[in-house]
Structure 1
Amino acid sequence: MKQLLLFLGSLSFGLTTTAQCYQNLQFGGTHTIGESSNGTLWGWGVSFWEQLGTTNESEPLPVQVNTATDWNRFYLGAKTTFAIKDNGTLWGCGSNYKGVLGLNTTTQTFSTFQPITAATNWLKISPAQLYTLALKTDGTLWGWGMNNYYQLGFAPAIEQQMTPVQIGTDTDWVELSSGTSGTNFAIKADGTIWGWGSNLHSQLYPGSSVTYYTTPTLVNSQTDWVKISSGGLHILAQKSDGTLWSWGEGAPMGIGTSIPTTTTAQQISPDTWKYFTTGLNTSFGIKSDGTLWGWGLNYNGQVGDGTTIDRYYPVQLGSATNWDTVQAGEFETFMATKTDGTVWYWGINYYGEFGNGMDYDATYYLTPQLTPGVCAVPLTTQGFNKITALDLYPNPAKQTVTIAYDLNEQPTDLIVYDLFGRTVYQRNVHGLIGNREIPLEQLQEGIYLVTIQNKSKIIIQEKLIKQ
C-alpha cells in the first residue's frame, strides 16, 4: 500500500520523473529525513554530529541514513535523529552530548542507529538540543539528557541523565513538547496543560516569581487542549476547535506585542489552523484554508515574508492556498510542504539544509524556495502506514486491552466492531494522541476490529484478538 501511495503521489504532483518522494518528511532545524517507497530512511542537511548516518560535515543531496525497512515514525532534534520501529523499539543516532541519546555511555556521537533500552512501547519523542522527552503507549512520560533546569522533571538538578527515567508516576499523558529554553509542556488525556523546567522568563506561569518547577505542574485547567509547541520564550497551543493560542514573551506570540503576557493564554486570531510550529524566536502556522503565515523576530528575514521587519501579528507568506505542513527548529532554516508534493525552504542553506545540492551557500533566503528533485507525500494521502499509529496491548487479550493512538486528524469516536459489523463498544475521544483501556469480559472469544473515527470516517483501524 505504501509503495502504491508514493507512486500515485509522484504522478499527481506534476513533478519531474526524477523526483524522489518521501513519506512523513521531518525537519529538525538543521537536517531533513523522510521515508522512501522501500521503507528506508533518507536525509540531507547538516551531518556534523552524524545525525544523518554519515561522518561528513554536510549532505547537500539526499543520502541513505539506514538500510532497515521497518521504521514506523521518526523525530529530529537539531543534532539528533530518533526513530521508532514497527515493533515499538526506539533507536537514535547523532550527538550524545550530555547523554541526549540515552545510551548510558559517554561516547559523543553515533553515525549508526543505536537501540535505546529494550522497551517495545515507545510512542512519541520530543528532542531538544541537550535533552530528550518521550511518551510511551502506556501513557507514561520519560526523559534523559541534561537536567540543569529540571527539564527532566525531577530534583536535584544534574548535568546529565544517561538513561531514560520516568517523569512522575502518572499514566494519562497524551502530548508533549520540549522547549529550546528548558521549558517543557505536556497535555493529559483530560485536555489540561502541565509544565515544568525553567520559568526564568515566566514561560510556565506569567508573572510568577518561581524560577524553576521541578515536577509537572498544572498550567492551564481548561480541558480542550490537543496540541502544544514550546519555542524559545513563547508557547503556542491549540484547542479542539482548531483555534490557536499563545503566551510567553516576544513577537513570536503573534498577539501584537513583545511585552510578556500576564495571562496564561491569549487567542492569536479567530481563525482555525491545521498546522503550526515554533522556532527559537519565530512562529508559523497553516490556516484551514491552506494559507501559510509567519510571525516573530525578523532581523534576518526569518519570517519568510521577504522583509526584515519584526512581525507582531501573523503575516501571510505568498498567496498559495495549498500548504500542507510547516516545520521550524532552533536555528534559522525553515521547511514547508504543499499538497502538490513540493518541498520549500527559507533562511540559511550554508550546510546543504535545502537539499538542493548547494553547499556553503552564503545567501539568506527571505522567501520560501522550491527544492527540486524531492517531493513529500501529503498528509492526506499517506494512508494508515506511518503518519498515524494505533497500538493495542496486550493483543491477544483476555480481560482488558489498552488502546494507544497517534493521529494526524482529530478523532471523535473509538469504536470496536465484531466480524458482523456490529458495534460492541463505543466511546467519544478527542486529541491527536491518547490512550484508553477497554474492558473485554463481556465479549466472546474471537476477532474484532478496533477503529478510531472522525464521525463516520475511519482514520485508522487494527485487529484485536479476544481470548
Structure 2
Amino acid sequence: VQILDETGKILVDSGVQKQYVDVTNTQGSWVVTTPLVANQKVQVRVKVSDGSLWSEWSEPGWMKYELPEKRASLVVGEKNSTYVKADGTLWMWGDNEFGQAGLGTTGGKSSMAMKIANLENVIGVAVGSNHTLALTQDGRVWSWGYGYYGQLGDKNRTYSTYPTPEKVPNLDSVVAVTAVGDYSMALKKDGTVWRWGGSSSGVEPQKLNFTGISAMAQGNPRNAGIVLKSDGIVLDFQGKQVPGLDGVVAISQGDGFSVALRKDGTVWTWGGNSYGQLGDGTTTNREKPGMVKGLDEVEAISVGEYHVIAMKKDGSVWVWGNNRDGQLGDGTKTNKLSPVQLAGIDAARIATGKSHSMVLKKDGTAWSWGKNESAQLGNGTTVNQLNPMEVQFSSK
C-alpha cells in the first residue's frame, strides 16, 4: 500500500504486509503509524501478490485525511498535575519520588510545569498514585514511574522505578486511558476495556468483560469502577446497569461515590456522602442516582476523592463536597453540601486530583488550588492554596 500526495509524491509505503493465506479473500488491513498532515487530499494505491507474482499498481483512490482540532487538556492525580498543550506536548509537575514526573530522574519535586522530553503528539494522560500514562495520537500508550505492582504494563519494568516514558508493549488502538492507585486502564477503539497493575502478577493488560464502551471511571482501587456504554447507559464493574439513569455522556468517580452527566446538561450522583459530595444538601449516603438540584447546562464534570467540580456551557465553575485542604477554591475550608459558584472563573477545561483542583481558562492560562505538599499546584511553592493561583511554566 502506498499513500501519495496530490502531486504523486510517496508519503507512506507499507512495505509487504501479509494478510490472509486464502488468496481468494479480498479483505486486508494496515495501520498507518506515520503522521500525516491533517485536512490534505491524498491518493491511495495497492498491489497484491499470490506469493509468487505481483500485480500492477491499482488506479489511485482519493481520500481526505482529517483530524479533530487539537485542544489543550488537563489531568490531575493525587500528587501530580499535567497539562497537554494544543501542540501535543505534555507538561507535568508535582512529586517525583518514583520518577512519575517524567523528568528522567527520581526524587524531589517539581514546583512548576516542566515539559516531558521526547514525547510528542500526546492526546491523553492518566496519573496514578506514583505512575503516569500518556496516550499518543497513534493509539499507543506510554508509561513511567513506579512499576512494582505492574502498573506500567511491561513485564520488563517491574520491581523498580522508571523515570523515562516507554511504550506499553502489545497495546494499540487505544482512545482513552485512566489510572488510580497502582492500577491502569485503557479503552480501545473497538469499545473494549483493558486493565493492569495492582500486583506483580498483573503486569500485562487484561481484557475485561465489556463491549461497546465509550468511557470508564474508577476513583479508588478498593472499589469497583463504572463504565459508560455507547448507548448512554452506565454499568458497574460486574456488568449490572445503574438503575434510573440513561442518556449519559460523561462519568467520573471518587472514593465510594459516582457522578454522571446526562446529555440534557443535568448532573446525577450516588454513593457515599460523608462530606456532601453528592451535592444534595445532606450528608446521607444514597444508593440510587439523584439529580443535583439547581445545576443545569453543565458541559463537563470532574471528581476528586470527596469533592466535585462542574463546568457549565457558559464557562462558570461550580464546586461542592470536601474542602479540608481548600480544594473547592472558595477561600475557605468549609465543606459545601450543595453547588456553589467560583467567582471570576471563565473556564475551558476542569480537572480534579485527590485533594486539589485545576482549571484551564479560556485565555489559555492554567490555575490551581487546594493541597500542595507535593508541589502539585505548580505555582512554585508547596503551600496549600484556598483560592485559585496561576500555574507557572518553566522556560526549559
TM range (shorter): 0.5 to 0.7
Deviation at 1:314, TM superposition (A): 0.9
Which of 229, 247, 261 is the equivalent residue of 1:239?
229
> Which residue of structure 1 aligns with residue 170 of structure 2?
169
> Which residue of structure 2 aligns with residue 280 of structure 1?
255
Look up the SS of the partner of 2:98 in the other structure. Answer: helix
Change (3 A) 1:378 1:124: closer
Rounded Cα–Cα distance in structure 1 between residues aligned with 2:93 and 2:74: 11
> Which residue of structure 1 aligns with residue 287 of structure 2?
312
> Which residue of structure 1 aligns with residue 339 of structure 2?
368
Rounded Cα–Cα distance in structure 1 between residues aligned with 2:255 and 2:147: 20
The answer to whether the Cα contact below 8 Å between 1:89 and 1:118 also exists between their aligned partners in 2 is no
Partner amino acid for 1:75? V
> Which residue of structure 2 aligns with residue 121 of structure 1?
121
Look up the SS of the partner of 1:105 in the other structure. Answer: coil
The answer to whether structure 1 residue 342 and structure 2 residue 287 are counterparts is no
Deviations 1:131-183 (A, max 9, x none): 11111111111111122221111236324221112111333111111123x23
> Which residue of structure 2 aligns with residue 35 of structure 1?
none
Partner amino acid for 1:374? I
Rounded Cα–Cα distance in structure 1 between residues aligned with 2:242 and 2:284: 23
Deviations 1:419-446 (A, max 9, x none): xxxxxxxxxxxxxxxxxxxxxxxxxxxx
Change (3 A) 1:114 1:287: same
Change (3 A) 1:196 1:176: same
> Which residue of structure 2 aligns with residue 227 of structure 1?
215
- How many residues align? The count is 282
Higher Rg of the two aligned structures: 2
TM-score of the superposed pair, with normalisation by structure 1: 0.55
Partner amino acid for 1:88? G
| Identical-residue share of aligned pairs (%) | 30
Change (3 A) 1:71 1:291: closer
Partner amino acid for 1:336? A
The answer to whether the Cα contact below 8 Å between 1:89 and 1:121 also exists between their aligned partners in 2 is yes
Q: Which runs of structure 2 are paired with 1:284-433 in the superposition (5 Å)?
A: 284-329=259-304, 331-356=305-330, 358-359=331-332, 361=333, 363-377=334-348
Deviations 1:76-122 (A, max 9, x none): 22322222334322221122121111212124111222221223222
The answer to whether the Cα contact below 8 Å between 1:184 and 1:230 also exists between their aligned partners in 2 is no
> Which residue of structure 2 aligns with residue 60 of structure 1?
none
Deviation at 1:125, TM superposition (A): 0.5
Rounded Cα–Cα distance in structure 1 between residues aligned with 2:269 and 2:278: 5
Deviation at 1:275, TM superposition (A): 2.1
> Which residue of structure 1 aligns with residue 112 of structure 2?
112
Partner amino acid for 1:193? V
Change (3 A) 1:191 1:97: same
The answer to whether the Cα contact below 8 Å between 1:140 and 1:172 also exists between their aligned partners in 2 is yes
Deviation at 1:74, TM superposition (A): 2.9
> Which residue of structure 1 aligns with residue 51 of structure 2?
none
Rounded Cα–Cα distance in structure 2 between residues aligned with 1:333 and 1:267: 21
Q: Which runs of structure 2 are paired with 1:177-188 in the superposition (5 Å)?
A: 177-180=178-181, 182-188=182-188
The answer to whether the Cα contact below 8 Å between 1:338 and 1:378 also exists between their aligned partners in 2 is no
Deviation at 1:219, TM superposition (A): 0.7
Rounded Cα–Cα distance in structure 2 between residues aligned with 1:129 and 1:265: 28
Rounded Cα–Cα distance in structure 2 between residues aligned with 1:97 and 1:265: 39
The answer to whether the Cα contact below 8 Å between 2:128 and 2:183 also exists between their aligned partners in 1 is no
Deviations 1:363-399 (A, max 9, x none): 22111112122233599xx9xx99xxxxxxxxxxxxx
Deviations 1:297-347 (A, max 9, x none): 122322221222211111221143322222112x32221122343211112
Greater alpha carbon shift after TM alignment, 224-233 vs 77-86: 77-86
> Which residue of structure 2 aligns with residue 215 of structure 1?
204
Partner amino acid for 1:287? R
Could you tell me which runs of 5 or more consecutive residues in structure 2 were left unpaired when the two chains were aligned: 1-69, 351-359, 365-396
The answer to whether the Cα contact below 8 Å between 1:74 and 1:83 also exists between their aligned partners in 2 is yes
Deviation at 1:268, TM superposition (A): 4.2
Could you tell me which runs of 5 or more consecutive residues in structure 1 were left unpaired when the two chains were aligned: 1-69, 200-210, 248-262, 387-467
The answer to whether the Cα contact below 8 Å between 1:293 and 1:315 also exists between their aligned partners in 2 is yes
> Which residue of structure 1 aligns with residue 383 of structure 2?
none
Look up the SS of the partner of 2:293 in the other structure. Answer: coil
Change (3 A) 1:267 1:303: closer
